[in-house]
Amino acid sequence: MQRIIILALTTLATALGLEVTDPTLWFGETAALAVVVVAVIAGIRKGLRLDGVAVVIASVLVGGALGGIGFAAGLFEASTTLVSAIAFGLGAGWLGSGGVDALRSLFPKAKAAGA
């Protein structure tokens, strides 16, 4: 089953045109998985009209799902739990979506006094 999941992830990476098509490399660094999340969301946005907060939510969900899939495929270190794998994916989704920028846009800086 793990080999089938890895094959499916490799096929997804190839279809998305990613340079790194080896899924074993995605789960070592948050930024690496974030790149995959960005590519998946870009593909989803072609078919759906996602904007603003919807993009952030979709990115976090995709990241969490990829974290769970990576755990099921055994692509994390042996000591990794399912909860930590999903949390890793959620963080990658947040990073990939620019979630920090989205929050900043919701709460713009107050103008300086006297300006």
Model confidence at 102, in pLDDT bands (50, 70, 90)? low
38 near 50, Cβ under 8 Å? Answer: no
Q: What pLDDT digit, counting tens, does each position of 46-97 carry?
A: 788 887 788 889 999 999 999 999 999 999 988 999 999 999 999 999 998 8
- Alpha-carbon span 83 to 88, nearest angstrom: 9
Radius of gyration of the chain (CA): 16
Rounded percentage of the chain residues whose pLDDT exceeds 90: 35
